[in-house]
Amino acid sequence: MPVLRVIDLDRRKPESCFLQEFRRDVYSQFGEDGVIEKIFEIVGTTNRWCVEFGAWDGLHLSNTAHLLRDLGWSGVMIEGSAAKFEELTANYADHDRVHPVLAVVGFERGKDALDDHLRTTPCPLTPDLVSIDIDGADYYVWRSLHRYKPRVVVIEFNPTVPNDVVFVQDEDMAINQGASLAAMVELGKRKGYELVATTNGNAFFVQADLFPLFAIADNSIDALRENVSGRIFHCYDGTVYTKMRPLQWVGRGDYRPPIDVFQLLPPEQRHFYDRVDEPDGGGDD
């Protein structure tokens, strides 16, 4: 077998990703509770309202439960599963500041977009925080948000996509593929937001006018997040090699594709053209 390994290049800058030092879980998964607390320590709060779309039962891996249950915030929690919504309402039965909403969100205004559902609640137009975590079409949900302009956005991205790849799945709630961090950053800039932190799968954006408060000179993706190792390349003879992380959401999350699993040509067609046309010659490309 050939030798194949990827040299990880960590271009993070400590002064850029300092918010990661405050990671702490109360209900969240990868330290988001602590990062959110630190962000609002820096920017302050205006109304202490939050929105979570993809709220599940309101507790499990939630980015807002700590705010709502421990810090006295008000909020809207939106969930599309009727079974999980029943658990959500039970978990917040004694929290009159929390407004559960059973809804499947669309992408167009006037057609069940997030704006449309928030209109049915007391949520202010500029809530302090919106968290979007639906394991797929998160990008399109944020893109569809126009009327409401949160000061801080926490949104899930696909952490297996390298930093320099822009990827967005099809605009379909039934698909669970996600979007890359690079795609989220491009969308955020169009909407007037700047990236200030990441965890393993969540990106934190603040309105551009708040960004100087963080004194982050370089908020490029590489400065804030270690790049993931994933490579596919082909050789002179057409053989395709790959180096990938385990498929973490498939089966037990430990399936690692063999290095030669992706072959576009059958073995008999894999040869270097110079070796066929000119047996004694060589070539550059």
Q: What pLDDT, on the 0 to 100 scale, is given for residue 81?
A: 93
Instruction: State whether 220 and 241 are in the same domain.
Output: no
**Domain's final residue, options 204, 224, 244:** 224
Cβ distance 88 to 56 under 8 Å?
A: yes
Task: Specify if 283 maps to a domain.
Answer: yes
Instruction: State whether 32 and 143 are in the same domain.
Output: yes
Task: Specify if 13 maps to a domain.
Answer: no
Supply the pTM of this predicted model.
0.90
Cα 149 to Cα 27: distance, rounded to the nearest angstrom: 25
Instruction: Residue 56: name the closest of 13, 102, 21, 11 by CA.
Output: 102
Instruction: State whether 240 and 274 are in the same domain.
Output: yes
Q: What pLDDT, on the 0 to 100 scale, is given for residue 14?
A: 96
Tell me the average confidence (pLDDT) per consecutive run of 10 residues in the chain, 285 residues long.
Answer: 84 96 97 98 98 95 97 96 96 96 86 92 98 94 96 96 94 93 98 97 97 98 89 90 79 74 88 64 53
Burial class, 76, CB count within 10 angstroms (exposed 0-12 / middle 13-18 / buried 19+): buried
What CATH number does the domain containing 207 carry? 3.40.50.150
Instruction: State whether 86 and 199 are in the same domain.
Output: yes
Instruction: State whether 236 and 197 are in the same domain.
Output: no
Task: Specify if 2 maps to a domain.
Answer: no
Instruction: State whether 214 and 259 are in the same domain.
Output: no
Instruction: State whether 157 and 39 are in the same domain.
Output: yes
Q: Compute φ and ψ for 190, nearest 5 degrees.
A: -65, -30
Instruction: Residue 139: name the closest of 102, 190, 100 by CA.
Output: 190
Q: What pLDDT, on the 0 to 100 scale, is given for residue 284?
A: 57
Instruction: State whether 96 and 213 are in the same domain.
Output: yes
Encoded tokens for 96: 């009159």
Encoded tokens for 134: 């639906």
Instruction: State whether 45 and 136 are in the same domain.
Output: yes
**Domain's final residue, options 224, 255, 275:** 224
**Domain's final residue, options 198, 224, 250:** 224
Cα 37 to Cα 18: distance, rounded to the nearest angstrom: 14
Structural domain for 155, as ranges? 18-224
Q: What pLDDT, on the 0 to 100 scale, is given for residue 277?
A: 55
Task: Specify if 3 maps to a domain.
Answer: no
Task: Specify if 10 maps to a domain.
Answer: no
Tally of structural domains, the chain: 2
Cα angle 90, 63, 50; round to 5: 80
